[in-house]
């Protein structure tokens, strides 16, 4: 399910490192160790195959909806990511509207979405010098929706690829799977929301998540 895809997505990064190191070893080790490196290479390749399969097919899991306080969720995500963001000199600005209503959502899956978007922002900002700022705001949007904006000061998304960033396997990164955004898009859609992006030239990228403020009753009526 979605969890499988999430785990597989997380496994992909260390795996990419393993692949790189194995290739390097392959070139450098003396003849006597070649065979061992060959075995290592096969094993790493097999693991990569499994991860890719999981990423492709293990993508949907029913939502386990509960009452989710988005401000608390954001605090949890930032607790897990902020030290890494600080290392790369990224200033975090967060703004959560007071009295923001809770959403009826799968907190773990929403956490995964925020984590993916923050990881992308961080990776994008690694490419620029000067000020790096990650701005996350959560506000009410109309009577029955909330809008979460995640804006970075990275290089932005080139117009040529912006229409396909949510497609599976669309990546511009040597070590990317191109699945972070497509998984996130699917999760938000399943919540009855929308994930979109804007990237005016020279202004970084801003991802917007809109979620319905839903009551358990409304959810049950729809199911």
Ligand X SMILES: Nc1ncnc2c1ncn2[C@@H]1O[C@H](COP(=O)(O)OP(=O)(O)OP(=O)(O)O)[C@@H](O)[C@H]1O
For the segment 2-61, give every residue that binds ligand X (CB under 6 A).
9, 12
- Tokens found for residue 27: 């070139």
Nearest-approach distance from CB 26 to ligand X, in angstroms: 25
By the rule CB under 6 A, 111 interacts with ligand X = no
44 near 18, Cβ under 8 Å? yes
Nearest-approach distance from CB 214 to Mg ion, in angstroms: 27
By the rule CB under 5 A, 120 interacts with Mg ion = yes
136 vs 146 by CB, closer to Mg ion: 136
Q: List strand residue ranges (DSSP E) for 126-204, in order.
A: 132-140, 145-152, 194-198
By the rule CB under 6 A, 181 interacts with ligand X = yes
Phi, psi for residue 164 in degrees, rounded to 5: -115, 10
Tell me which residue of 185, 155, 144, 148 sits closest to 168, measured CA to CA: 185
Spatial neighbors of 116 by CB under 8 A, at least 6 apart, are: 9, 180, 181, 183, 184
- Helical H runs in the chain? 2-28, 34-57, 70-87, 107-125, 159-162, 180-190, 216-222
User: Pick from ligand X, Mg ion, none: which does 154 bind, CB < 5 to 8 A by kind?
Assistant: ligand X
Choice from 120, 145, 146, 209 touching ligand X (CB under 6 A): 120
Nearest-approach distance from CB 200 to ligand X, in angstroms: 12
122-161 footprint of ligand X as x/- string (CB under 6 A):
--x---------------------------x-x-xx----
Q: Residue numbers of the site for ligand X (CB under 6 A)?
A: 9, 12, 116, 120-121, 124, 152, 154, 156-157, 165, 170-173, 176-182, 205
- Sites of contact with Mg ion (CB under 5 A): 120, 180
């Amino acid at each position: 399910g979605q969890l499988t895809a999430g785990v597989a997505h997380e496994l992909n990064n260390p795996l990419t490192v393993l692949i790189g190191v194995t290739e390097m070893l392959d070139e450098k080790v003396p003849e006597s160790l070649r065979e061992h490196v060959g075995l290592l290479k096969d094993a790493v390749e097999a693991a990569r195959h499994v991860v890719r399969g999981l990423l492709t097919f293990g993508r949907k899991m029913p939502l386990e909806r509960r009452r989710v306080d988005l401000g608390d969720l954001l605090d949890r995500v930032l607790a897990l990511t902020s030290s890494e963001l600080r290392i790369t000199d990224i200033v975090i600005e967060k703004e959560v509207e007071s009295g923001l209503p809770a959403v009826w959502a799968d907190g773990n899956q929403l956490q995964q979405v925020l984590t993916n978007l923050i990881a992308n922002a961080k990776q994008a900002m690694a490419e620029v010098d000067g000020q790096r700022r990650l701005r996350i705001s959560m506000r009410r949007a109309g009577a029955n929706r909330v809008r979460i904006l995640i804006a970075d000061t990275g290089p932005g998304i080139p117009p040529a690829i912006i229409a396909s960033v949510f497609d599976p396997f669309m990546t511009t990164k040597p070590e990317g799977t191109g699945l972070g955004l497509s998984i996130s898009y699917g999760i938000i859609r399943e919540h009855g929301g929308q994930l979109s992006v804007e990237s005016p030239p020279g202004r970084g990228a801003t991802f917007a998540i809109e979620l319905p403020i839903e009551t358990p009753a409304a959810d049950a009526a729809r199911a």
